[in-house]
Amino acid sequence: RCGYVAIVGRPNVGKSTLLNRILGQKLSITSRKPQTTRHRIHGIKTEGDVQAIYVDTPGMHLGAEKAINRYMNRAASSSLADVDVIVFIVDRLRWTEEDEMVLEKLKHTKAPVILVVNKVDRLDEKAQLIPWLDELSRKMDFAHIVPIAARNGHNVDRLERLVNSYL
Ligand code: GDP
Ligand code: MG
């Protein structure tokens, strides 16, 4: 079995960190600064008889006035066509207008969407509850909701098993 996996989310939620964690190698740039990923990058993870082809999308941006933003929006949208499963990453600490924009794009796709709530290691910084999560799951039907910490790998193996089940 073999299929395509799109990783989407606004800048800084941890897309590159997750991809590097899954693929076990530094394929894309991670940085504290948003918008460092300029290109779509493919990586293939083989697990038994399943091959998952991962697509790291550039961030989606509110301002489409700059050429680079238009390019990045186009690249992000095209990466959603014809994938078998979409991983929508959000940061547990912050739901923003940019997340909302990504969500709107996902409503028009046909692939199942797995909602990944990243950075659950940062429990010290704010209350354990994620106030917007209930409302978010009412706005869209997610195939699964998976809390992870991409940086230390917490629950990433479970996410990979769920992803592979759609390939
Ligand atoms: P991207 O813009 O979505 O590709 O996000 P990056 O992968 O570049 O990550 C943005 C920032 O969040 C970096 O400073 C990462 O180290 C940090 N980050 C990513 N995953 C986690 C996580 O699980 N926990 C914490 N605390 N930080 C994370
Ligand atoms: Mg990135």
Q: pLDDT of 69-123, one tens digit each?
A: 666 666 556 557 778 999 999 999 899 999 998 999 898 888 999 999 999 998 7
- For residue 140, the 8-state DSSP code is S
Closest atom, ligand 1, to C-alpha of 11: 2
Residue of minimum CA distance from atom 24 in ligand 1: 119
pLDDT of residue 137 exceeding 90: yes
Supply the pLDDT for residue 54.
Answer: 86
Does residue 119 have its Cβ closer than 6 Å to ligand 1? yes
Terminal CA-to-CA distance of the chain, rounded, Å? 6
pLDDT of residue 162 exceeding 60: yes
Does residue 33 have its Cβ closer than 6 Å to ligand 1? no
Neighbours of 63 (CB within 10 A): 8
pLDDT of residue 38 exceeding 80: no
- Range of 50-59, 115-124, 125-134 with top mean pLDDT: 115-124
- Give the Cα separation of 60 and 76 in Å (integer): 6
Supply the pLDDT for residue 122.
Answer: 82
Residue % of the chain over a pLDDT of 90 = 44
Residues 11/15/16/18 CA torsion (nearest 10 deg): 150
Does residue 149 have its Cβ closer than 6 Å to ligand 1? yes
pLDDT of residue 48 exceeding 50: yes
Q: What is the pTM of this model?
A: 0.84
- Report the chain's C-alpha Rg in angstroms: 15
Q: How close is the Cα of 27 to the center of ligand 2, in Å? A: 10
pLDDT confidence tier of residue 37, bands split at 50, 70 and 90: very low
- Give the Cα separation of 147 and 118 in Å (integer): 6
